[in-house]
Amino acid sequence: MEHDQLKEIIQRCAKQDRAAQKELFELLYGKMLGVCMRYTKDRDRAQEVVQEGFIKVFDKLGEFDFEGSFEGWVRRIMVNASIDAIRKRNRQPFTTDEEYVFNEASSYQEHDFDDDLTKIKASYAMEAIQELSPAYQTVFNLYVIENYSHKEIAQILDISEGTSKSNLAKAKQNLREILKKKFVKLDR
């Protein structure tokens, strides 16, 4: 879809045009469902989050300034809606265990993990991510997939940077174990 067409649809949506809202919803639904699936355990819950996210999109549409990517703007709302849903379900899903020690060995293991992850099919990786706890899954998605910094994650989730780093390290550790057991042997 061309930029001018998208802009026209967005402007109509801002005026509460139901046909335009439906068109925008249908245009972005698949991609946004994929975003929400990374944060939820099942498709039904992800669909609920997408619905909630689009309500927020339509409510905040007047705030979009057409300067950046509209899809990126919607994606950020969907990520926040996913995090809100996790918070509602699990009042405190994020651990406060900051005893994980970051050293050269753990950095090396992270590098190996990233190399291994690129060697397997994306569907296997996504299925394994779905098996992580909500806390680990959220931090992993925000850091690895959405490219947030630990400082940003700490602010978004109201946790410390150390907790974010710890949850990421544990998420990667758990993913390695899940993938070893279920999908591929990652040991060399």
pLDDT in tens, 159-174: 999 999 999 999 999 9
187 domain residue, yes or no: no
- Last residue within a domain, chosen from 27, 55, 89: 89
Cα-based angle 126, 129, 133 (whole degrees, multiple of 5): 155
Q: Reduced to 3 states, what is the DSSP secondary structure of residue 107?
A: helix
Phi/psi for 37 (5° steps) reads -60, -30
Residue 123 pLDDT level (bands cut at 50, 70, 90)? low
What whole-number distance in Å separates Cα of residue 148 and Cα of residue 133?
A: 19
Residues 76 and 33 in one domain: yes
Average confidence score pLDDT of the chain: 80
**Overall average pLDDT of the 10-26 stretch:** 93
Structure tokens at 65: 């300034």
Structurally, how many domains does the chain consist of?
2
* CATH number for the domain harbouring residue 148: 1.10.10.10
- Residue 160 lies in domain: 104-182
pTM: 0.63
- Last residue within a domain, chosen from 44, 59, 89: 89
161 domain residue, yes or no: yes
Question: 94: Cβ–Cβ under 8 A, 6 or more apart, which residues?
Answer: 135, 138, 139, 157, 159, 163, 167
* CATH number for the domain harbouring residue 26: 1.10.1740.10
Q: Is the pLDDT of residue 132 over 50?
A: yes
**Overall average pLDDT of the 50-76 stretch:** 92
